[in-house]
Amino acid sequence: MKRAAIYVRVSTLDQNLATQIYDLEELARQRQLEIVARYEDKISGAKARRPGLDQMMRDARRGQFDIVVVWACDRLARSVRHFLEVLDELNHLNVEFVSFREQLDTGGALGRAIIIIISVVAELERSLIVERVRAGMRRAKLEGTHIGRPALDIDRQAVLRHRAHGQSLTDIAKSFGVGRSTISRILKEEHFVKEEHFVLPAAVGGTL
């Protein structure tokens, strides 16, 4: 009888692990697997580092079980890279991987190939979603729609007057409700403009 470890995960504390655990215990019974360990995480699958998953991998390296059983592939990982890293390490440790929902088993070459294909498709879908969002932002910019925070409307001359009266950058920033870096940038820009207006010697013709 093979020693099995079951891994279950939900994204939030409000979700229940009971359904996953019931299905995996039933699967183990049907396959005559002995469940020797159970690992749980209540955290986003996008995070590669998870307490339950990390402990499971440490125990796998110690040879404490022969097979890992999960409710679905996306319970283990959300990115192809992380998913393949976990599967590759399990493979090197001679630990099989079984997914209840997809009915996949890395005990055979076909099972390993199918898991990789499914993971690539899922990653492609997420990439397409990101690209659609970026395309929408590019289209909005071309149409003249402002993206991001609105531009600050600050009386630059008033900033210069405050500075001329000896106020600190911090005090000026508080007066206008902006960051200190914004006031510093305005002062630098105004200083640059002023340098473009210079005084010619009187003999040459006065002020320009």
Q: Which residues are catalytic?
A: 11
| One-letter amino acid of 134 | R
- 178-195: b (≥16 Cβ within 10 Å) or e: beeebbeebbeeeeeeee
Alpha-carbon separation of residue 91 from 36, 48, 147, 174, 194 (angstroms): 19, 18, 47, 60, 69
Strands ordered across the beta sheet of 67-70: 34-42, 3-10, 67-70, 96-99, 104-105
For residue 155 the two structure tokens come to 């009386």
Contact 183, 160 (CB under 8 A): no
For residue 143 the two structure tokens come to 């149409």
For residue 166 the two structure tokens come to 């000896």
Kindly report the number of other CB atoms within 10 A of residue 122's CB atom.
17
Residues in the chain: 208
